[in-house]
Chain A
C-alpha cells in the first residue's frame, strides 16, 4: 500500500522533471491545462511517464480524461496503483 503523501511527492517530482515545471506550481488546485500549460499531446506523455514510474496501467481513458487538476491526478494515481497492487 502506497500512501497518499508518497504518491503526491512522487507525482510532483515526475511532473516537475518530465515537463520542466516549477515544483511549487504543482499544488493540488493547479489545473493541468490552464495553469500548467499542458495540452492533449502532453497528456499521453504524462500517462506514459506515470505508468513507468508507478509500474501500473492507466488504461481507463474516461478516468484520465476526467483529470483536471493536480489534486485529481494525485487521487487517480493513488487509486490505480493501490488497486493494481492489490490484484497482483
Chain B
C-alpha cells in the first residue's frame, strides 16, 4: 500500500492531523491498533448506558475561540451538537481539611465574585491572580490568534519561568485558596510546584472563559471526524499494530505493520514519545535523544468508577456541577493513598446526554492513581487478570462510592459500579505508559519533546508534544500538520475561521 502520509494512532491529534493534511490534498492513511478508532475519546456502553473515558468537557468552543475555529476549518464543527455549561455550572470544591465549599464557576467574573465572597481577606491576591492568567493567555497565540505561532512554540519547550506555586504563595496566605486556584492542574496533570504559568494559563484561561460538553460525548467528536475524513478520502485501517518505521537513505519510507508494508514519505507518530523508540531501527537516533525520550516523566494515572444510578433526579445539580473533595494547600496532586478521605470527583454527565435514553444514567467517580497501586497485578496477560486484582478493584470502587455518599448525599451511595478503569486498563487500552492520563508531564523539570525528529519525514504529535487534554491534543495535531505543510500559512487559514 502507498500513501503520502501515514498517521499512527487515531486519537484526536491523529484525526486532526489527518483531516488537515487531507484538506491540503494529501493522500493520508491512519493506522489504529485497536478495533475502533478514536483513542481516549471513544465511548463504551454497559447495560445500554454510554460512558466517556477521556472527554467530559472542554473550553475553547465559544464564539471566536480556538477549538471551534480549528474544527470549523476542518469541517467537523457543523456536525457537533455543542452544549455550553449553564451559568450555574461549576466545580464544587470541598476542602476536606476545613470543610469549606467553594464553587469555581466557569467564568472569570463569577469566579472572582465567589472567591472574594469566601475569602474576603484575599481580595487583592484573587484579582491579581486572575489578571495574571488573563495577561499570560494574551501572549499565547491559541488565545490571541493574531499572534504568530512559531515564536511561541519555540519558547514553549524550555522549562523556565515562575511556577504556579511561586505565584500563589507570593499573592495569597490562605492554603484553602491555594488548593482552589490550583485545581486546573487536575486537567493537565502537573503539580503546582512543577508547572510554569504558561502551561497553567493554557488550561486555566479556557476553563475560566466558559466550558462546553458535546451531546454524544467524545464519540460524537470521533464520528464527526470519521465522516469528514471519509469525504476527503482518508483510509483508516484498524487492528493494525505498527511494528517498525521503514527507513531508506536516512529518511522515512513508510511503516511495517502487522498487516504488511505501507509506503509513505511522512509518518506522524501520535503515541507516547517513549514508545517511538521501539519502532525506529538502531543507529537512527543518537543516544542522547533516546535517553531523553526514555527518561521522560509522565503524569499520574486515574482510577475511574463508571457507575449507574436508577433514579438520576436524586443527584440534584450534578449534571452541570462537578463535585470535588480535595486537600488544602499546594500538594493537591499528591496521592494520599493512606489517608481515609481520598481526593475524589463525582459528576453525572449521563443526565445531559440525549444518547442516554433509559431510566438509569451514567455517573463517574474519579480519583488519581499511580502505577504503584497496580504494579503487583501486572503479571498476567491482558484480559486474564487475577481474582486478587478484581477484588482490589471492586473494594476500591466501593470505598469511593461510600465516600461520595457520605460527602454528597445518599443518592451517591446508590451508584452501582458497571465498569472500573485503573492504571492497568488505561495502559492496555490507550497505550499510555503506566496508564498516564495526560502522557508526558509538561513540567519545569524537563524539556517536553517537540514535533520534529532527526529523521526526515518522521514527526511526533499528541498531547506530549504541546498541551494536555482534548484541546491540547487537537492543537498538537494542527501543529504537526503545520510543520509538514507550512506552519504560519496553515495557522493563518485556521484563525480566519474565528
Contacts and interface: CB of A to CB of B under 8 A. Distances in A.
A41 B453 contact: yes
Contact of A41 (B159, B291, B454): B454
A45 interface: yes
A59 B94 CA distance: 37
Interface string B341-384: 00000000000000000000000000000000000000000000
Interface string B400-439: 0000000000000000000000000000000000000000
Contacts of A49: 288, 291-292
Given A41-B454, A47-B447, A48-B292, 5 more contacts: A18-B286, A41-B452, A44-B292, A46-B288, A49-B288
B157 A44 contact: yes
A61 B160 contact: yes
Interface string A16-32: 01111000000000000
B389 interface: no
23 contacts: A17-B287, A18-B286, A18-B288, A18-B291, A19-B286, A41-B450, A41-B452, A41-B453, A41-B454, A42-B286, A42-B288, A42-B289, A42-B454, A44-B447, A45-B292, A46-B288, A47-B447, A48-B446, A49-B288, A49-B291, A49-B292, A52-B295, A61-B160
Contacts of B157: 44
A61 B158 contact: yes
B280 to A, nearest CB: 14
A59 B160 CA distance: 6
Given A59-B158, A59-B160, A48 B288 contact: yes
Contacts of B292: 44-45, 48-49
A45 B288 CA distance: 6
A26 B19 CA distance: 46
A19 B286 CA distance: 6
A39 B287 CA distance: 15
Interface of A: 17-20, 39, 41-42, 44-49, 52, 59, 61
- The 3 A-B residue pairs with the shortest CB-CB distance, nearest first, are A18-B288, A45-B288, A48-B292
Q: Which of A46, A48, A61 has the most CB of B within 10 A?
A: A48
Contacts of A19: 286-288
A18 B287 CA distance: 5
Contacts of A48: 288, 291-292, 446-447
A86 to B, nearest CB: 21
Contact of B286 (A45, A59, A61): A45
A46 to B, nearest CB: 6
Contacts, number: 45
Interface string B437-475: 000000000110010111000000000000000000000
A43 to B, nearest CB: 10
A48 B288 CA distance: 8
A41 to B, nearest CB: 6
B445 to A, nearest CB: 9
B457 to A, nearest CB: 14
A19 B291 CA distance: 11
A61 B287 CA distance: 23
Contacts of B291: 18, 45, 48-49
Interface string B158-179: 1110000000000000000000
B420 to A, nearest CB: 37
A42 B288 CA distance: 8
A3 B157 CA distance: 31
A82 B414 CA distance: 61
Contacts of B446: 48
Contact of A20 (B286, B450, B453, B454): B286
A15 B288 CA distance: 9
Contacts of B158: 59, 61
B252 to A, nearest CB: 15
A46 B158 CA distance: 13
A45 B291 CA distance: 9
A20 B160 contact: no
Interface in B274-300: 286-289, 291-292, 295
A59 B288 contact: no
B233 to A, nearest CB: 33
B417 to A, nearest CB: 43
Contacts of B287: 17-20
Nearest to B293: A45
Interface string B132-171: 0000000000000000000000000111100000000000
Interface string B286-321: 111101100100000000000000000000000000
Contacts of A39: 454
Contacts of A42: 286, 288-289, 454
